[in-house]
Structure 1
Amino acid sequence: MTAAIGVGCRLTSCPDAEQRVDLPLVLMYPAVAPATLRRLGPYDMTAAWDAAPAGTSLPLVVVSHGNNASPWTLRDLAAHLAREGFAVVLPEHVGNSRHDASLAGTLANLRNRPRHVSLALDAAMADPLLGAHLRQGPVGAVGLSIGGYTVLAAAGGRAWCGPHESPDGRPQRVEVVPDARLGALVLLAPATFWFAADEALRGVTQPILLRTGSHDTITPAEHGQRVCAGVADPNQVEHEVVPGAGHFSFLGVFPPSLNRPDFPPAQDPPGFDRATYQPRLWEDVARFLRRRL
């Protein structure tokens, strides 16, 4: 009898010479080994910790979290991808995370985030446990909210910061080195404020799975429309407006300690059931990446 594929998980980091920090990383991948529960801040994660990866030529996916958030907010999606045969790396964006929000709303943050994507991919490919099990070739990228900006910028989008983000109070180009390894993008309620200029997204040529919420008041309909109209080939965008969903409805279900009225990321518009919707989202993402990578 074949053993069931579970989720391996490894906590590591990589140096960011520009910020002079170590960038925390979560690696998830298929594994066949006993799983144990571990508490990580407010989150519980059951995984085979530091277990050997199962399989070879695993396609790699990088996941970018939202503003002042944590990789663990997208842990359920990452775990589903791991069970489906993907390797996933989730960087914590230092300066714009739950632990360190010191650069939120700055030009530096807009520059740093796409670089973190490339550093995370480099680290996953060089990881002594996982690296040899990865497939060579295009990788996937998933981004939620400002993580959507991050993925689009890393994929070739040309962003401009606003005057409130610029050190001199004037809009200016966000200098980003695109990562040619990105072969397919998943955008969940993406924030696209920085791509309003003409031709800003023409350099994005990858196929895109786009999900937006009909009741999103933070990145409303125009953000998804900007992606659909702005990329090189709009026919490459698979867009669904999810009825009743809000901005945070694409995040995983939060633990009871955070599921309270004064914590907006845990809340959905009345009538929307995040727990029921999530498995459909996970499978949409897995199916898209399987087809496009």
Structure 2
Amino acid sequence: MEWLVRPLHEAGFRVVALDHHGNNHVDGYEPEGFLHVWDRPRDVTLALDALAREELLGPVGVAGFSLGGYTAAALAGARVDPQIVWAVLTGAVRLPEIPEFPGALEALRRKHPLDESSRRALDAAAADLSDSRVRAVFQVAPGAGGLVTPESLAAVKVPVGIRWGGADTVNPYEVDTRPYLEHVPTASGRSAGPDVRHDDFFAPEPADPAVRVRVGGEAAAFFQQHLG
């Protein structure tokens, strides 16, 4: 994610990048890290609390790629619909294959058998995970758009910028980006290009390296406008 961190740093922002437990290259993969998405915003709030104990925080912006896009939106008030999550977990709604963790859903079911107690535990998914310190959000190829409620998105008040790839089959525009763009009243955005894939934002050799460099610059400009 250097393409995103560098322009933010060069624009004068203090940048903190999080490794979410169970979904990073440091301590490995766990199914909850990919499927219990509502735990991710809590990680950010925990990090902000720790930073605030060190020194006074200025206006906070959150940028996120893929599931990080959902994480950023959740910190601005987006809420997951637990009924949809339950439908995904039970197989009533198909979960697209997760390239980094094929079989993540089956692994989760083995660890947490689906029963009434596990369904009640999903109430945590619907909690308000917003953080009042977050003043602006920038999403890149955001995920989980099909899991969030339109009502919660309609209540988002901070500026939201969105970029997506026109050839993204991991988080397709219609499923994952359109809900944010259409229901968040403060959202604006544009495609990064008709041929841009999800992988082009993180692959060692993207089809066009200039795309993500441009998007990183646009993220920095967005936050300069809304946090300056």
AA of the residue aligned to 1:92:
D
Alignment of 1:114 onto 2:64: no
AA of the residue aligned to 2:172:
P
Unaligned 5+ segments in structure 1 are 1-73, 255-265
1:21-74 CA-to-partner distances (Å, cap 9, x unmatched) read xxxxxxxxxxxxxxxxxxxxxxxxxxxxxxxxxxxxxxxxxxxxxxxxxxxxx1
1:283 deviation in Å? 1.5
TM score, norm. by length of structure 1: 0.59
Change (3 A) 1:285 1:198: closer
The match for 2:165 among 205, 213, 219 is 213
Unaligned 5+ segments in structure 2 are 90-107
CA distance in 1: counterparts of 2:225 and 2:135, whole angstroms: 11
The match for 1:159 among 69, 75, 80 is 80
CA distance in 1: counterparts of 2:78 and 2:223, whole angstroms: 20
CA distance in 1: counterparts of 2:79 and 2:197, whole angstroms: 27
CA distance in 1: counterparts of 2:81 and 2:157, whole angstroms: 19
Kept in 1: contact 2:64–2:71 (CA 8 A): yes
1:218 deviation in Å? 0.9
Match of 1:85, SS state, is coil
CA distance in 1: counterparts of 2:128 and 2:21, whole angstroms: 17
Q: CA RMSD in A?
A: 2.3
Change (3 A) 1:93 1:176: farther
Partner residue in 2 for 1:289? 223
Q: State how 1:42-61 maps to structure 2 within 5 Å.
A: none
Kept in 2: contact 1:114–1:176 (CA 8 A): no
Alignment of 1:100 onto 2:100: no
Partner residue in 2 for 1:230? 183
1:199 deviation in Å? 1.2
Kept in 1: contact 2:192–2:215 (CA 8 A): no
| Number of residue-to-residue matches in the alignment | 191
Q: State how 1:54-203 maps to structure 2 within 5 Å.
A: 74-98=1-25, 99-102=27-30, 103-106=32-35, 109-127=36-54, 131=55, 134=57, 136=58, 138-161=59-82, 162-163=85-86, 164=89, 167-168=114-115, 170=119, 172-173=122-123, 174=125, 175-191=127-143, 192-195=145-148, 197-203=149-155
1:216-257 CA-to-partner distances (Å, cap 9, x unmatched) read 0011111221111111x1xx2221112211112223x63xxx
CA distance in 2: counterparts of 1:283 and 1:105, whole angstroms: 28
TM score, norm. by length of structure 2: 0.75
Change (3 A) 1:277 1:145: same
Deviates more, 1:145-154 or 1:156-165: 156-165
Give the number of the structure with larger relative contact order, counting CA–CA contacts within 8 Å between residues 6 or more apart.
2
Kept in 2: contact 1:90–1:120 (CA 8 A): no
Indicate the structure (1 or 2) with the bigger Cα radius of gyration: 1
1:81-126 CA-to-partner distances (Å, cap 9, x unmatched) read 11210001111101222223222344xx323201001111122233
1:148 deviation in Å? 1.0
Q: Sequence identity of aligned pairs in percent?
A: 30
Alignment of 1:250 onto 2:204: no
